[in-house]
Amino acid sequence: MEKLLEERWFTETPDGLCLVGTRCMACEKVFFPRKEVCPDCYEGVLVDVPLSKRGKLHAFTLSVMGPPHLDKPYVAAFVDLPEGIKVYTLLTDCEPVKEVVRVGMDVEMVIERIMEDEAGNEVLGYKFRPSRTEKAS
């Protein structure tokens, strides 16, 4: 069986599964994951907003050590989304890392296996990979 790591991180759109954040109607800031109260202005009504699947690589690090359930080595990264937020992610399809991965490169979100749980279920989550389709705007 397959399941999502955190269902509340995702929403179904005509473009498939994408990440969902909240936008504060008072200060317009967007947050991910969803927040109940705006951490910035403590006011306003928060509404769900699907987040862009494309962004730009802000920073990354190649890790050879890490949580036992993750395949290693892995690349952890922050991606800038057009909504004005940074999202923590794993990078995938980025070998060889030293040649492929560049800060500022276009990346796109994919749904992929993150790990296997104790019951043997495939646990899916989001990752980003070097963009294969049209450029992020």
Q: Which residues bind Zn ion (CB under 5 A)?
A: 24, 26-27, 38, 40-41, 44
Q: Which CB, 38 or 109, lies closer to Zn ion?
A: 38
Cα distance between residue 34 and residue 48, in whole Å: 7
CB of 11 to Zn ion, least distance (A): 21
Nearer to Zn ion (CB atom), residue 26 or residue 100: 26
Nearest approach in angstroms of CB 30 to Zn ion is 10
Return the HEC string of 13-76: ECCEEEEEEEEECCCCCEECCCCCCCCCCCCCCEEEEECCCEEEEEEEEEECCCCCCCCCCEEE
Q: Which is nearer to Zn ion, 26 or 49 (CB)?
A: 26
Burial 113-131 (b: 16+ CB within 10 A, else e): ebeeeeeeeebbbbbbbbb
Do you find a cis peptide bond into 73, omega within 30 degrees of 0?
A: yes
- Measured from the CB atom, is 40 or 93 closer to Zn ion? 40
Minimum distance, C-beta of residue 10 to Zn ion, in the bound complex (Å): 23
Q: How far is the CB of 88 from Zn ion (least distance, A)?
A: 21
